[in-house]
Structure 1
């Protein structure tokens, strides 16, 4: 289940709330009981390694197509 981050406009607290995506836009009450909250945009990081369609690893400035050895 996704975790969403919110900030309370009343007290400035930042908090997280785990809820289904179908409820992502519903209001959230801060831990201090205030209702004036806003959902923050979160960034995610996905790890992995990209390869070209042929399966060979390119690299450098142009993906290895220019012969620069990069």
Structure 2
């Protein structure tokens, strides 16, 4: 289930809610009970771990071994 970020306009609290995509724009009450909130634009960062530096080439056609 997707996670959405919201900010309460009344108290300034930023919080997350897990809810179906169909409910993404529904009102989201903050943990303090305020109902005036706005959905924030979320960004996603994907880390794939450490990678080795490129040595150029690689693969048959990428390395220039094809005739």
**TM-score band w.r.t. shorter chain:** 0.5 to 0.7
Is 1:23 equivalent to 2:32 in the alignment? no
- TM-score normalised by structure 1 residue count: 0.65
- State the alpha-carbon separation in 2 of the partners of residues 4 and 30 from structure 1: 12
What is the number of residues matched between the two proteins?
51
Matches within 5 A, 1:1-70: 1-47=1-47
Q: Which runs of 5+ in 2 are unaligned?
A: 49-57, 60-67
Post-superposition offset of 1:47: 4.7
- State the alpha-carbon separation in 2 of the partners of residues 32 and 7 from structure 1: 12
Post-superposition offset of 1:44: 0.8
- TM-score normalised by structure 2 residue count: 0.67
Q: Which structure has more helix as a fraction of its residues?
A: 2
Alignment deviations for residues 31-68 of structure 1 (CA, whole Å, 9 cap, x no partner): 000000000000012356xxxxxxx67xxxxxxxxxxx
